[in-house]
Structure 1
Amino acid sequence: MTNPELAWAFLQQLVVILLAAQLFGYLAKFIGQPRVVGEMIAGVVLGPSLFGLFWPELQQGIFVADTMPILYIGAQIGVGLYMFLVGLEFNIRLFKQQARSAVGVSLAGMIVPFIVGALLCVWLLEQPGLFAANISYTNAALFMGAAIAITAFPMLARIIYERKLAGTALGTLALAAGAIDDAAAWIVLAVVLASFGGGALLAIKAVLGGAIYASLMLTKVRGWLQPLADKVEHTGVLTQPVFLLVLLLWALSAYAMEWVGLHAVFGGFLLGIAMPRGKMTEMVSARLSNITVFLLLPMFFTYSGLKTKLDVLGSWQVFSTALIILAASIFAKGVACWAAARIGGADNRTAMAVGALMNSRGLMELIIINIALSYGVIQQGLFSIMVLMAIVTTLMATPLFQLVYGRHMAKTAPQTAEQDINPTALKAG
């Protein structure tokens, strides 16, 4: 395929991707779901599971193999920038204030999923087409634990913002617990990726390198960027050189994490947390959010959808495996967080709301399983099962939250509650 033909083919599929994302995003909002749910489903619809099932020639004609590397690059840039935006919106002060009260919920949200993941892997490793042939039990169990423990933190923040619960006990508890859980899940995934096929030295390099880099970002780099942030705060203008510097730092952070043996998304997330808060972060977020959320992120959903083959669920063995994983995941995360919140003194309604919010996996799950698939940790069968789990648990979150907490409870939340969550960057949830 010549370069002009390649460009035309990519533009053609980009139009299809954007139209599908807008359509399904609108339908999701129409039925009361976050936009991200529709976009996730749009990615699966465009893949071989539906579009390719009914119109295989048309689907293959649009998503030609030669354009896949371009789509992959766009998808990786999109998810990397999105994690940077998540880091920008990460409320460090709120996290520090609520960390102690959220320890019980977050520990339950980590320990129980890892126990369940370890038990599941005794059986899952005997099933064909799920894990890599040479994976150890330890790595398989750690991956399953991380995949079950992960929470759709951006979506959780979005729901709390929309319900005006940012300054309430429920909002702060859920946000702090979700942040701790996700941090632990990412650390475990980093260990799995570093040690898979590489031995203990690579794992040590990844953990130490990541820790040193995180410390550097949160101390030195934040201090270095503060004068720039003060200048933007004073002038109210984000100049092109400053914006380009931020993008350069993002690229360097992504490269640094890849170099130590972690994934590039860790670098973007750390840089986002390290950025001094104020007008500079607000303006950077405003400039990047639309192109990331509306253009690049749908490419990630589509790239994931093209690798999702729900026809593997056609056999009773795989379908029953999917049902068991789904049921175990919902129990391990939702029930554990509910019980921990109750033990911590929360009333039943609040505890159930925490369990409903924490049980959603969303985009964070897709990121984890895409990374695991690219590293060869899991195979196509488990990837498709986990995509289904991500969609189902995300679909459940909003209706369950609405059911157990109620609209009238949201209306009683303080209208002047501290709203440190910028809705712009979290549109994708």
Structure 2
Amino acid sequence: MTTTEIFLLAMLLIFGAPFLVWRLLRTDYWAPLVVVQIVGGILLGPGVLGAAFPDYYAFVFRADVIAALNGIAWWAVMLFVFVAGLELDLSQAWRQRRETGVTAGLALVVPLLAGAAAAAVMLRFPGWAGPAAAAWQVVLGIGMACAVTALPILVLLMDKLAILRAPLGQRILRYASLDDIAIWGVLALILLDWERVGRQAMFLIGFALVAWAMRRLMRAIDERDRWYALPIWLAACGLAADWAGIHYMVGAFLAGAVLDGHWFDQRRMDEFRDTLLLVLMPVFFLSTGLRTQWDVGGIAVFAAAGLLLVASVGGKLAGVALAGRILGWAKGEALTIGWLLQTKALIMIVFANILLDRQIITSATFTALLLMAVASTMLTVPMVAPRLRRA
């Protein structure tokens, strides 16, 4: 078979297998299609398919095919992170700043500390810290991965639960939006490269100036031209950020965050995000699955994933419960909000991919984090739906 035919065979597996599982097994209640696609990526990776059928795995996912898939995955995740930044709206958060600040702060800090404690336990054993990492980077990176809330997946799940446009849903979006900013700020701190600090300072100063000019340009042109300008702006910001040593995905988030979402038709933006999740992001999930490894042993990876899951979910619920006591919420409200805010999946996977790229964590740590993210996301709807029905 030619490389083109093998590439298309891989694409057939990437899109066909998860869809059939999702539709035939009717997993939507506890595992939306996006979660099934993430799990599918893990199963198609070297730890499962590669171990069970090594010859078939080597035939389909050979180096030139993986290179082509990675190129699609890079652009897909840049677009996804860009849209996440573009859709941030902090105006409501500012108007309700005390409630939003207290809740978002505690919902971030408590699971971060719990995750950092779990990371400290993991570092007592070999195989979890990357070769280029200081201990504080590993601890902070894993802690932040436990504290992440995946805003795009949260929107999808709240829409499924019919609370997205309700007052409760809008409150939760405010909390998650602030945490989304904190994620990228912490990531920039972890990735700070003292050997290239001059480049990074140049990038930040230059980005501020060019972003100001870009905002003026976007106001001056009509919406159709704005859509044409987006991929150019995104590619330039990603290139500049990666050149500075910050990482192209941080550049993609900043590229979206400095623009205003109301400059674009909301319906069209929703359709664009849905199309992105449908036709491009599954390739990123597969490329993520190809990076899963069980080098320190399968049992150890699952044990680490379980420890991280307890730290992540327990820390998030405890932080939101503390916020509820401070702010005088109604009984049971904090538990519902806490379960929704612990949704992870996409953003945590993006975050962990960057840590792996920079050799801050190992493939085994990445695999444990990925399993934790999938499990926490799958818990959300089964835990929240009965509570909403009773309410």
Whether TM-score is above 0.5 comes out as yes
Structure 2: distance between partners of 1:48 and 1:39: 16
Q: 1:225 to 1:115 in 2, by over 3 A?
A: same
Whether contact under 8 Å (1:108, 1:340) holds in the other structure is: yes
Structure 1 segment 4-403 matched on structure 2, within 5 A: 5-26=2-23, 27=25, 29-195=27-193, 199=194, 202=196, 206=200, 209-210=203-204, 213=207, 217=211, 219-228=212-221, 231-232=222-223, 238=224, 242-278=226-262, 280-282=264-266, 285=269, 288-289=272-273, 291-309=275-293, 312-315=296-299, 317-403=300-386
Alpha-carbon distance, 1:309 to partner: 3.0
> Comparing 13-22 with 272-281, which one deviates more in the overlay?
272-281
User: CA-to-partner distance for each residue in 1:324-346, whole Å, 9 max, x for gaps?
Assistant: 22212221222212321232222
Alpha-carbon distance, 1:147 to partner: 0.9
Q: 1:264 to 1:170 in 2, by over 3 A?
A: same
Q: 1:171 to 1:204 in 2, by over 3 A?
A: farther
Q: 1:177 to 1:243 in 2, by over 3 A?
A: closer
Structure 2: distance between partners of 1:304 and 1:187: 23
Structure 2 counterpart of 1:178, one-letter code: A
Report the identity percentage. Answer: 26
Whether contact under 8 Å (2:93, 2:100) holds in the other structure is: no
Alpha-carbon distance, 1:134 to partner: 5.0
Alpha-carbon distance, 1:95 to partner: 3.4
Structure 1 segment 414-425 matched on structure 2, within 5 A: none
Structure 1 counterpart of 2:314, one-letter code: F
Structure 1: distance between partners of 2:358 and 2:276: 24
Alpha-carbon distance, 1:358 to partner: 1.1
Count of residue correspondences = 390
Whether contact under 8 Å (2:76, 2:284) holds in the other structure is: yes
Structure 2: distance between partners of 1:297 and 1:128: 33
Structure 2 counterpart of 1:257, one-letter code: A
In structure 2, what is the equivalent of residue 424 of structure 1?
none
Structure 2: distance between partners of 1:313 and 1:340: 39
User: CA-to-partner distance for each residue in 1:78-118, whole Å, 9 max, x for gaps?
Assistant: 11111122233333433333443111121112222332233
Whether contact under 8 Å (2:356, 2:362) holds in the other structure is: yes
Q: 1:178 to 1:206 in 2, by over 3 A?
A: farther
Structure 2 counterpart of 1:141, one-letter code: V
In structure 2, what is the equivalent of residue 421 of structure 1?
none
> Comparing 284-293 with 382-391, which one deviates more in the overlay?
284-293
In structure 2, what is the equivalent of residue 426 of structure 1?
none
Structure 2 counterpart of 1:64, one-letter code: R
Whether contact under 8 Å (1:342, 1:348) holds in the other structure is: no
User: CA-to-partner distance for each residue in 1:32-82, whole Å, 9 max, x for gaps?
Assistant: 533211111111121133333333322222112221111111111111111
Unaligned runs of 5+ in 1: 233-237, 410-429
Whether contact under 8 Å (1:124, 1:130) holds in the other structure is: yes
Whether contact under 8 Å (2:41, 2:286) holds in the other structure is: yes
Alpha-carbon distance, 1:120 to partner: 3.0
TM-score by length of 1: 0.82
User: CA-to-partner distance for each residue in 1:254-309, whole Å, 9 max, x for gaps?
Assistant: 11222332222223323333334447354763674355222221111001111113
Structure 2: distance between partners of 1:98 and 1:212: 32
> Comparing 394-403 with 16-25, which one deviates more in the overlay?
16-25
Unaligned runs of 5+ in 2: none
Structure 1: distance between partners of 2:205 and 2:322: 32
Whether contact under 8 Å (1:333, 1:359) holds in the other structure is: yes
Q: 1:145 to 1:212 in 2, by over 3 A?
A: farther
Whether contact under 8 Å (1:308, 1:383) holds in the other structure is: yes
Q: 1:123 to 1:279 in 2, by over 3 A?
A: closer
Q: 1:360 to 1:312 in 2, by over 3 A?
A: farther
Q: 1:308 to 1:94 in 2, by over 3 A?
A: same
Structure 2: distance between partners of 1:65 and 1:324: 34
> Comparing 362-371 with 87-96, which one deviates more in the overlay?
87-96
